Structure 1
Amino acid sequence: MAVTMLLRSLLALLLTTIVLFSHNIKATTITLFNKCEHPVWPGIQASAGKPLLARGGFKLPPNKAYTVRLPPLWSGRFWGRHGCRFDASGRGRCATGDCGGSLFCNGIGGSPPATLAEITLGQQQDFYDVSLVDGYNIAMSILPIRGSGKCSYAGCVSDLNLMCPAGLQVRSNSRVVACKSACFAFNSPRYCCTGSFGNPQSCKPTAYSRIFKAACPRAYSYAYDDPTSIATCTGSNYLLTFCPRHRR
């Protein structure tokens, strides 16, 4: 009898501890908000070994939002596809950011050029950025919500398609729909930071990356653009906006 009561007490204590522990675990969320005048098809690619979220992609109409729960220590990237057409089975193509001709990217990354939002959740601190290293197609921003630390804004809100150099332009129906990175356009070690240029000492900003940086000072303009581009925050949720308004 005494043993049974002891076991029941231990079980009750264990259940109470589990409940309290679960309440103390704060799930991180990222809300994707489309402020564009056209639909955007967000793509999501998890880093190696991390779980797939939302099947890797979906349609987001104008002025609509979709919230995704991020598992602890998750890392990966988000991007926007536009000009997409899919059939009832989810097969089709996108004008930019396409991921293997499927509505659900299922772990496949977006075809450059595409603006990327990258995030890594840590135990003590999260890291996030908006990157133009793979080129640009849609303006994007990341804003932390109710976090602690520096928690700065990251993003590229300028329309780089309007100022894209001729050698980097991607055109559709006579209009520029995306802007390639110099690496993607010319496949040169100097622009790609590979080979003898594979370190921050030898790979420096170029005329092309400076155009990106001048237009979007809070975004990665080339591979070693860390100091002014990566942001950190602790215990935050995040708002990722497509076509955000201009922010100084």
Structure 2
Amino acid sequence: MDHIFSSSALHITLILLTICKGISGATFTVINRCDYTVWPGILSNAGSTPLDSTGFELPHGGSRSFQAPPNWSGRFWGRTGCTFDLNTGQGTCLTGDCSSNQIECSGKNANPPATLAEFTVGSGGQDFYDVSLVDGYNLPMIVEPNGGSGSCLSTGCITDLNQQCPAELRVESGQACKSACEAFGSPEYCCSGAYGTPDTCKPSVYSQMFKAACPRSYSYAYDDATSTFTCTGADYVITFCPSLSSQKSARDTSPPASTANGSETGTGSGVGPIGIDTSWLPSFLTGISPSAVSCSAWQFNLILSAISCLFLSSVYL
């Protein structure tokens, strides 16, 4: 009887902690494995609280983490070839510039062409994420979920498309590749006007080239079925110029089956009882996790009660 009670208390504790994990949002860690400095840019969508920075310098081998609240949505990208004044922070970038003339993008979007990592963080439910080449490409990027439940697959573009870029899409510097929409501006490439629906806007020879090189990335506006990914309760690592091990993980796993709305399906296996990921539990209990888990007072009291039951039942076993 005590054993059953102890097991039930453990399950309750894990369920409640998982709920709080979902409510806490997500931690994004940006890593630069390029052999040159990258200046990441961050844009929070309208209605989302801005993160701690909107643009910063990230040298080779560097990393930086950000805590996003529930329901946050926005995008990350890399700027290259930047020159900024150390005293004023003013300057410009060769690719991915955000037209703020500052290291901080301050609400400005990336100037195409730029590889984009896009996220919508759920509140106790699914996160949605993708890597998009709809606005062109400037450097390799991969997104990898850490923890969480569901399909939680890595996605991105690890191929150097600058080396494969057709002459009509290549920027003058050769360090970025335009989308067909930016290069030609015609409705059939931009999915606008009479081509503004999934039925009328189809893949072009150019978007098919992007898709062949990076099968999990968005190649044109309605490329949802194999390009939108979901995970519940995860943190995310965004890597520029990913390592060979990351490249292998992105290359060797097939794209997910899609639902009617374009997001993939998954059963979720987890690593703990009843399919719950418990890898973050020790750091939560010890308080040393770099990303705080925020719960309301009643949720916290429920968790303490469950932990107390677990402790007492183990004492009297």
TM tier, smaller: 0.7 to 0.9
- Does the Cα contact within 8 Å between 2:44 and 2:75 map onto a contact in 1? yes
Q: State how 1:76-87 maps to structure 2 within 5 Å.
A: 76-87=74-85
Q: Contact 1:149 / 1:232 at 8 angstroms: preserved in 2?
A: yes
Distance 1:244 1:226 in 2: 24
- Letter paired with 1:219: S
Equivalent in the alignment of 1:205: 203
Look up the match of 1:149.
150
Between the aligned partners of 2:47 and 2:232, the Cα distance in structure 1 is: 23
Q: CA deviation at 1:181?
A: 0.3
Q: Equivalent residue for 1:188? A: 186
**SS at structure 1 position matched to 2:182:** helix
Give the deviation of 1:27 after TM superposition: 4.4
Corresponding residue of 1:231:
229
Give the match for residue 65 of structure 1.
Answer: 63
2:159 is the alignment partner of 1:158: yes
Distance 2:78 2:128 in 1: 20
- 2:170 matched to which residue of 1? 169
Any runs of at least 4 consecutive aligned residues in structure 1 with deviations exceeding 4 A, and if so which?
Answer: 22-25
1:196 aligns to what SS in structure 2? helix
Question: What is the aligned-residue identity percentage?
Answer: 56
Question: Which residue pairs with 1:53 in the alignment?
Answer: 51
**Contact map agreement 1:36 1:242 (CA 8 A) in 2:** yes
Give 2:83's aligned amino acid. R
Partner-residue secondary structure (3-state), 1:55: coil
Aligned to 1:89: 88
1:31 corresponds, among 29, 32, 44, to 29
Aligned residues: 226
Paired residues of 2:32 and 2:241 also in contact (CA < 8 A) = yes
Cα deviation 1:161-207 (Å, max 9, x = unaligned)? 000010000122xxx10000000000010000001100111101010
What is the CA–CA distance in structure 1 between the aligned matches of 2:234 and 2:142, rounded to whole Å?
15
Give me the whole-angstrom Cα distance separating, in 1, the residues matched to 2:108 and 2:25.
Answer: 25
**1:121 — aligned with what?**
121
- For 1:141 and 1:70, the matched residues in 2 are separated by 19
2:131 is paired with a residue whose SS is strand
Aligned equivalents of 2:26, 2:53: Cα separation in 1: 18
Compute the displacement of 1:72 (Å). Answer: 1.1
Q: Secondary structure in 2 aligned to 1:68?
A: strand
Task: Please tell me whether the aligned partners of residues 24 and 70 of structure 2 are also in contact (alpha carbons under 8 angstroms).
Answer: no
3-state secondary structure, aligned to 1:208: helix
Q: Is the 8 A contact 1:96 1:137 kept in 2?
A: yes
Q: Secondary structure at the match of 2:230?
A: strand
Report the counterpart of residue 5 of structure 1 in structure 2.
Answer: none
AA partner of residue 102 (structure 1): Q
Structure 2: distance between partners of 1:54 and 1:213 = 33
Paired with 1:23 and 1:220, the residues of 2 have a C-alpha distance of: 32
TM-score by length of 1: 0.88
- Quick one: structure 1 residues 65 and 131, their matched pair in 2 at CA, closer, same or farther if it must change by over 3 Å? same
State the alpha-carbon separation in 1 of the partners of residues 167 and 184 from structure 2. 13
Where do 5+ consecutive residues of structure 1 fail to align? 1-19
Q: Is the 8 A contact 2:25 2:71 kept in 1?
A: no
Relative to its length, the structure with more helix (as a share) is 2
Distance apart, 1:102 and its partner CA: 1.4
CA RMSD of aligned residues (A): 1.6
Give the corresponding residue for 1:106. Answer: 106
Instruction: Look up the equivalent residue of 1:89 and give its one-letter code.
Output: T
Q: So what's the TM-score if we normalise by structure 2?
A: 0.69
- Number of the residue aligned with 1:14: none
**Other structure's SS at 1:59 match:** coil
Counterpart CA distance in 1 for 2:155 and 2:25 is 22
**Paired residues of 1:45 and 1:109 also in contact (CA < 8 A):** yes
1:23: how far off?
A: 6.7
Q: Are 1:30 and 1:69, in contact at CA under 8 Å, matched by a contact in 2?
A: yes
Structure 1 residues 135, 23: CA separation in 2 closer, same or farther (over 3 Å shift)? closer
Alpha carbons 1:209, 1:221 under 8 Å: kept: yes
Instruction: State the alpha-carbon separation in 2 of the partners of residues 55 and 144 from structure 1.
Output: 21
Q: Alpha-carbon deviation of 1:59?
A: 0.3
